[in-house]
Structure 1
Amino acid sequence: MLSTRYLEVEKLPWANTAYDGIKIKILFKDSQSGAMTALFRWQAGAKLPMHEHTDIEQSYVLEGSLCDFEGECKTGDYAWRPAGSKHEAWSPNGCLLLAIFFKPNRFLEGPESEK
Structure 2
Amino acid sequence: MNDENLFDTELFTHWADALAPVQPPAGLRDRIMARVRAEHPLTQLRTIRSAEGWMDFGPGIRFKILHRDETGRANSLLARLDAGVTLPPHLHAANEECLVLEGEITYDDITVWAGDYHFAPKGAAHPALTTRAGALIFLRSGMGEPVPEFSAAR
Q: Structure 1 residue 94 and structure 2 residue 128: aligned?
A: no
Return the structure number with greater helix share.
2
Count residues in correspondence: 109
2:146 to 67, 91, 106: 106
Please report the TM-score for the alignment, with normalisation by the length of structure 1.
0.80
Distance 1:3 1:23, change over 3 A: same
Q: Which residue of 1 aligns with 2:56?
A: 16
| Percent of aligned pairs with the same amino acid | 28
Give the letter for the 1:47 counterpart: T
Q: Runs ≥4 in structure 1, deviation > 4 angstroms?
A: 30-34
CA distance change for structure 1 residues 70 and 34 in 2, over 3 Å: closer, same or farther? farther
RMSD (Å) for aligned C-alpha atoms:
2.4
Which structure 1 segments of 5+ residues have no match? none
Whether the 8 Å CA contact 1:63–1:75 is kept in 2: the answer is: yes
Structure 2: gaps spanning 5 or more residues? 1-40
| Residue number in structure 1 paired with 2:47 | 7
In the alignment, the residues of structure 1 paired with residue 130 and residue 76 of structure 2 have an alpha-carbon distance, to the nearest angstrom, of: 20
TM-score by length of 2: 0.61
Task: After superposition, give the CA deviation of every residue in 1:18-60 in whole Å (9 maximum; x if it has no partner).
Answer: x321110110125787521001000000011121111110000
Query: Which one scores higher on RCO, CA 8 angstroms, separation ≥ 6?
Result: 1
Instruction: Indicate the SS of the match to 1:6.
Output: coil
Larger radius of gyration: 2
